[in-house]
Structure 1
Amino acid sequence: MSNAEHADTPTYDHGTSAGLTAALRLLGACAIAAWMTGAHAQDYQAPGVEHNMPAFAPALKAKMTFPLAYSPDVKDLAAWRAKARAKVWEATLQQPDDTPFQPQVIAEQDRGSYVAKQVVFNLTGMSRVRALLLVPKGAGPHPAMLMLHDHGGKFDIGKEKMIEPFGAADAAKHASAKAWADKHFSGRWPGDALAARGYVVLCADAVGWGDRGPLTGEAQQALASNFFNLGSSMAGNMALEDVRAAAFLAALPDVDKTRVAALGFSMGAFRAWQVAALSDDVKAVIASNWMATTDGLMVPGSNQLKGSSAFQMMHPGLLRWLDHPDVASLAAPKPALFFAGAEDKLFPVDSVRVAYAKMARVWRAWGAADKFEAHVRPGGHAFPVEAQEQAYDWLDRQFGRAATAR
């Protein structure tokens, strides 16, 4: 190398501060050049939202350990249930309500072996509602069923999805309810079929449905937000109202309060196992087509990620403590019957089976394995007549009734 070439080549004395400074400058320049030439190697998070979930959803899922769920470490089942139930109530954002019901029957209709009634009562201290009530003829007291209607994105009818409405008073509503029964219940109203078996049956509208509408798929998100702005919760209000409806039904003079059950389809199934978990008035539960684990529901392609009905069934923060099957398990050791559809696109069957297995462990822990049944039936999102009859026969057995002639 010539002296000229040598003069053009920088040399550094790393033993001096000036030499060290120069070396750091060179390293910095190299780093900047590497960053500029390799800018495509992204080292920050983008996009931030995928499949309607935050990009960091897996990290959030990893934190969901459900610490209040049943485990074999639980030695005092009653204490565990009380603690977990208290956490559910806390998440509902509701206060206890013991408002007198003050019922009034405003219309009646003879339906053969039973009488249909329109009854008005104080569902809570804030809401006086009109409900449909079916009462068998003959001496009581009778076993009873709290019917809980679904969501379905159909808001013009609520209670009329489960019990046939008074058609002469509103022909359009009757036609709408009949179409719903044809679509999901093999052309009959589940409540009327059960009343014909000798059960008192009650169904009221949730906020947004039937008398308590109008609501739309888009407006329900604003309604949920405004519930929060008012220091409450749409899902929590529904939970409180269902518990109150169960208490009203159990207190009726025609009802045997030791034999009161809850039944629902779809969102109504969610409501049914929830009220069975929260209410001592409910002694048995039948839930069709709403059960799965959170992990199995919060996956790309799942209807759950669309959020359309989420706020009716979401208690803020509860999933930090209990998963859906954990909450349902608070109903143990009451008799419980669950149905799912093998082709139900809303509830992935693998996740359903995981949830059922988790629940079955709790009933076994109570020594009541024979009181829990869960079936995956052929078909999709429906509660067909075959499942209804299976459910009603099962309930008769739980309540010590002889098979009802059909």
Structure 2
Amino acid sequence: MLKSPTPFTFSLAGRSTFAPSGLHSRMIEEAPRKLSFEHAGSDPDWAETLRAKLIELLGMPDERPAGSVVTAVGERVDCGTHDRQEFIFEAEPGAEVPCVLLLPKNAKGPLPAMICLQGHTTGMHISLGEVMHDCDVEHIGGDRDFAIQAVNHGYAAIAMEQRAFGIRGDDRADCCRRTLDLPINDDNRTCKHPAMTALLLGRTLIGERVFDVIRACDAVAEFEVLDPERIHVMGNSGGGTIAWYAAALEPRLKGIIAASCFGTVARSIGAIDHCTDNYIPGMLEWFDFPDIAAAIHDAKVLIVMGRNDPLFPYEGVQEAFARAEVIFEHLGKAGAIDLVIGEGGHRFYADLAWPAFAALPASRSP
């Protein structure tokens, strides 16, 4: 039976149940997170189970070509304070990855490697401190010239172009695109379409980018000057997110610096507008972002955040790090993870990060 008619208007009804946001917020808070520390931490196989579920949800590529991964190597160029060499490696059939290798001047190998990942900037040239677009000046000013920093700290730095960024950006015809009026680094222009089409294929753009990092580790093994037993990865924002996930799946990574990317889902991507490529279907059925700490192999981890980052509120950062720290302690890795806080927003904090990373204990495995 219908209720008796009463006068009302939609605009005055004030129903909080009209928009999906209220329902989704409640569901995010109440999601089961079946493999979280609270629910599964006592299981001796917890870390392996969580890692396997993460691999499943990421929908990474299946095909890993046999033979040499590096397909092209350029001449080594003397840049004064360091040497520079461009190369390309094949991640999977149809997906090649351009990289720039920076080597400390006159350094003797094999050298520790640092894979450098940008977030939603205009490309890997930001890691090299190179200005190609007007907005690059601001990005580099936020301490995002990772490769320059890394080589100055004695690492062989690999600036790697991530899928959908820079020279790996969307190359569809203009007639297929409705985002050309947006800023060149806007995620709706760079990542939205490849992230959505990846979902159509049972993949995620995050999974594809993580796979590229794994293949970058394969590429490192082909350079005599690089030490395949000392590979590290660092990134800011979307690059930091990939570093975090990659560390959970790739045991060759002995250290990570993940910046401007850390928090609980409820306080970050579940509440605040974020880039499309951050979302993994079904994730909260199994775990929250900090729970992934359980799957991280024997690597030291530094989280770098800004106290006033509008995308990752400080309370969520604190909550997430407290959980990750407890997980590391539970798994016998106390002291191998640290958090530094810069007094600013969504950027990297080089002066805080590098000393803190150096102070962390080295990986216990070779």
Q: TM-score range by the shorter chain?
A: 0.7 to 0.9
Contact kept in structure 1, 2:58 and 2:280, CA below 8 Å = yes
Identify if the C-alpha distance between structure 1 residues 376 and 65 changes in structure 2 by more than 3 Å, giving closer, same or farther.
farther
Match of 2:178 in 1: none
Structure 1 residue 242, shift from structure 2 partner:
2.1
Identify if the C-alpha distance between structure 1 residues 125 and 45 changes in structure 2 by more than 3 Å, giving closer, same or farther.
farther
From 82, 87, 102, give the equivalent of 1:119. Answer: 87
Match of 1:142 in 2: 111
Contact kept in structure 2, 1:294 and 1:324, CA below 8 Å = yes
Q: Deviations over 1:305-348 (max 9, x none)?
A: x34x12x1222112211111112442154211112111111111
**Tell me, which stretches of 5 or more residues in structure 2 are unaligned?**
171-183
Structure 1 residue 67, shift from structure 2 partner:
0.8
Structure 1 residue 73, shift from structure 2 partner:
5.7
Q: Deviations over 1:56-86 (max 9, x none)?
A: 2244224412111224863455x21111111
Q: Distance in 1 between matches of 2:340 and 2:49?
A: 29
Across the two proteins, how many residue pairs are aligned to each other?
345
From 21, 37, 48, give the equivalent of 1:82. Answer: 48
Identify if the C-alpha distance between structure 1 residues 344 and 250 changes in structure 2 by more than 3 Å, giving closer, same or farther.
farther
Match of 1:60 in 2: 27
Match of 2:198 in 1: 227
Match of 1:254 in 2: 225
Percent identity over paired residues? 22
From 338, 344, 350, give the equivalent of 2:309. Answer: 344
Identify if the C-alpha distance between structure 1 residues 227 and 96 changes in structure 2 by more than 3 Å, giving closer, same or farther.
closer
Identify if the C-alpha distance between structure 1 residues 132 and 238 changes in structure 2 by more than 3 Å, giving closer, same or farther.
same
From 284, 290, 298, give the equivalent of 2:261. Answer: 290
From 133, 140, 144, give the equivalent of 1:181. Answer: 140
The answer to which structure has the higher helix fraction is 1
Say yes or no: does 1:36 pair with 2:5. yes
Q: Distance in 2 between matches of 1:235 and 1:73?
A: 25
Q: CA RMSD in A?
A: 3.0
Q: Distance in 1 between matches of 2:10 and 2:124?
A: 57
Structure 1 residue 105, shift from structure 2 partner:
1.6
Contact kept in structure 2, 1:202 and 1:249, CA below 8 Å = no
**Tell me, which stretches of 5 or more residues in structure 1 are unaligned?**
1-27, 166-171, 401-406
Match of 1:199 in 2: 155
Q: Distance in 2 between matches of 1:372 and 1:335?
A: 6
Q: Deviations over 1:162-211 (max 9, x none)?
A: 1245xxxxxx62876454212x11xx722112212321111221222111
3-state SS, counterpart of residue 220 of structure 2:
helix
Contact kept in structure 1, 2:304 and 2:349, CA below 8 Å = no
The residue identity in structure 2 corresponding to 1:127 is: A
Q: Distance in 2 between matches of 1:128 and 1:107?
A: 19
Q: Distance in 1 between matches of 2:243 and 2:348?
A: 14
Structure 1 residue 131, shift from structure 2 partner:
0.8
Aligned counterparts, 1:3-402, within 5 A: 35-37=4-6, 50=19, 53-71=20-38, 74-75=41-42, 77=44, 79-99=45-65, 100-136=68-104, 137-151=106-120, 154=121, 157-165=122-130, 173=132, 177-182=136-141, 184-185=142-143, 189-214=145-170, 217-219=187-189, 220-297=191-268, 304=272, 306-307=273-274, 309-310=275-276, 312-331=277-296, 333-391=298-356, 393-394=358-359, 398=362
Structure 1 residue 248, shift from structure 2 partner:
2.1
Q: Distance in 2 between matches of 1:280 and 1:389?
A: 22
3-state SS, counterpart of residue 295 of structure 1:
coil
Instruction: Give the structure-1-normalised TM-score.
Output: 0.76
Match of 1:6 in 2: none
The residue identity in structure 2 corresponding to 1:334 is: A
Contact kept in structure 2, 1:119 and 1:131, CA below 8 Å = yes
Contact kept in structure 1, 2:88 and 2:98, CA below 8 Å = yes
Structure 1 residue 393, shift from structure 2 partner:
3.1
- Bigger Rg, which one: 1
Identify if the C-alpha distance between structure 1 residues 112 and 91 changes in structure 2 by more than 3 Å, giving closer, same or farther.
same
Structure 1 residue 238, shift from structure 2 partner:
1.6
Contact kept in structure 1, 2:126 and 2:136, CA below 8 Å = yes
Q: Distance in 2 between matches of 1:129 and 1:37?
A: 63
Bigger shift: 80-89 or 242-251? 242-251
The residue identity in structure 1 corresponding to 2:35 is: L
Structure 1 residue 88, shift from structure 2 partner:
0.9
The residue identity in structure 1 corresponding to 2:84 is: A
Structure 1 residue 48, shift from structure 2 partner:
5.6
3-state SS, counterpart of residue 398 of structure 1:
coil
Q: Distance in 1 between matches of 2:280 and 2:203?
A: 10
Q: Distance in 2 between matches of 1:389 and 1:320?
A: 36
Structure 1 residue 45, shift from structure 2 partner:
10
Q: Deviations over 1:106-148 (max 9, x none)?
A: 2432133531111112122221232111123332111111111
